[in-house]
Amino acid sequence: MKKMAIIVLLLYLFIPQISAEDGSRLWLQNKSKGTETLSIAKQELKQSWKGKAVEFQLINDFENDAFKIIGNAKKIKIIASSDIALLYGVYHLLGLQQTGKITNDLNINEYPHCQYRILNHWDNLDGSIERGYAGKSLWKWDELPHKISPRYAEYARANASIGINGTVLNNVNASPQILQTEMLQKVKALADVFRPYGIKVYLSVNFSSPAIIGNLKTSDPLDKEVQQWWKNKTDEIYRLIPDFGGFLVKANSEGQPGPQDFGRTHADGANLLADALRPHNGIVMWRAFVYASNGDDRAKQAYTEFTPLDGRFRDNVILQIKNGPIDFQPREPYHPLFGAMPQTAVMPEFQITQEYLGSSNHLVFLATMWREFFESVNFQSFKAIAGVANTGNDTNWCGHPFSQANWYAFGRLAWNPRLLPETIADEWLRMTFSNDSAFVDPVKTMMLDSWETAVNYMTPLGLHHLFAYDHHYGPEPWCDVPDARADWLPKYYHRADNQGIGFDRTSNGSDAVSQYPSPLREKWNHPSDCPEKYLLWFHHLPWDYPMKSGRILWDELCYKYDGSVKQVREFQGIWDKQESRVDAERFRLVQSKLEIQAHDAVWWKDACLLYFQTFSQLPISSGNF
């Protein structure tokens, strides 16, 4: 067995204390320099490690990206089959140090559950970010390839520290211009920075690119000239970027072009690109976010459109499916496509940026949402996972200091979907703020309660899409935009009337429930058996419907809205008590964000209850239940 070992000398270095903290260092406490992976790993240890000697050992037959850390009283050894995996091991070891979990007897085995752990950036070429709440894009296209921002390496470093190994640089509503040779030179410059950190670049592509920038008469996927154009363009990319990852595609969705424009299927379109990528070992991530204004329940349409295509996709195509069947709502049941296409590779798409969860103003820890998803599906077959990034050029990267936790949580769960939210929150708090249990324990509780709280002041009991038209920030359940599609408006979803509220997706309604396997379809089909968190997702029920609490439905809605407002105020109290334990800059920023969140929670409560009261004709309960 061939081995290579590199010894790093015993180091006693201490992290310098600073008087101010602007959040730019994320959960990483030191700035690393280096151009190659092993030199980066050694530099990370040199600048941050305070313990005994560390030895690297490369073993050829070790699993890709996996690493092992073993230690005794004299030294620690990190074992892996690649320099990238050794770097992952270094970051893991430093994380143990930051969280106070280094012992004399270490025996840690780590391996990623998913092969592809990818951020999706919805960044546009003009520097704007669709659903971005932390400033402009990190990518300075006007400066590339000649000027390289130092933030590119810091971005790569942060991702490598949590095992993320891919990034889609541009918006799924893609401009064809990203495939112009001039732009590809800029993409190459980013790929060169990211490579030592184990991160591959991917691009979102516009399906009409052959006609728009290739001057062909068509973009029909079965046209020979179109097939040759994609082959030539793909070959050009790989000449510039030999480790290019592949393409992400949004097609025939919300006005984006696709194969259906030519009478072809999603499989025809995906396979066109897959064939061009296959010689280079690239992949196609084909999004399943499709729906048409055809009168059918929007929650059903992706399942209806894609399940007939099972088994017709190339083996280097992965169907990318949002976690729920509507659109990144505060809470949704899992998407019924998961488990419905056994002959097709599928991957979940999460949204890290909080489009429907208060943008960068609300503290909402999303690991609890994602954990609920993983508990609902069979994730064993997933070989990829995507997260819509929440990064921007703000100093602290994500706008809200606690929004950084969602970036961190995505990476940790992509590596290991079995991790518990409390474990992730504990790690992040200790690495980002403090190991002081007087800080960690109450703030961790706040984080773990935050998602359920947000659901309850926005869309309790299975309500969904009550948001203001277009920007999706505040409540507007009454919204009525002339000439707008019905399924872009809240009334389509809540269906409140004098009889009751909720969307009937039972076998007597849209029958969306039948897209789920037994016994779920039977359980969710009956309101008495349906979990109350999904109740109004699947059922239209009278205002006086009896709930498990003994309250009627209307009073339960009042209870949820009122209780969540009180909960946010409790969050404010928890945070206010931490002033002596947190640097002043981040303390004040979180405090001000919680003030906004408390105001918004009241806004949501009042707007929704006052509007729904016009139908229920019942008094708004005071909250003294």
Write out the catalytic residue numbers. Answer: 254, 327, 355
Q: Distance from first CA to last CA of the chain, Å, rounded?
A: 69
**Which structure tokens are listed for 545?**
């419907």
Sequence length of the chain is 625
Alpha carbon of residue 283 to chain centroid: 20
The strand order across the sheet containing 75-80 reads 3-8, 53-59, 75-80, 67-71, 106-110
Q: Which of 605, 499, 525 is nearest to 558 (CA)?
A: 605
- Dist CA 522 CA 397 (whole Å): 45
Q: What DSSP string describes 364-378?
A: --THHHHHHHHHHS-
54: DSSP letter: E
The radius of gyration computed from the CA coordinates of the chain, to the nearest angstrom, equals 25
Q: Is 109 helix (H, G, I), strand (E, B) or coil?
A: strand
- Dist CA 620 CA 625 (whole Å): 12
Q: Within 13 A of 393's CA, how many CA atoms are on the CB side?
A: 13
Cα-based distances in Å from 536 to 122, 145, 515, 525, 565: 31, 51, 17, 11, 21
CB atoms within 10 A of CB 3: 9
**Which structure tokens are listed for 387?**
């997260």
Q: Is the dihedral of CA 481, 483, 487, 491 positive or negative?
A: positive
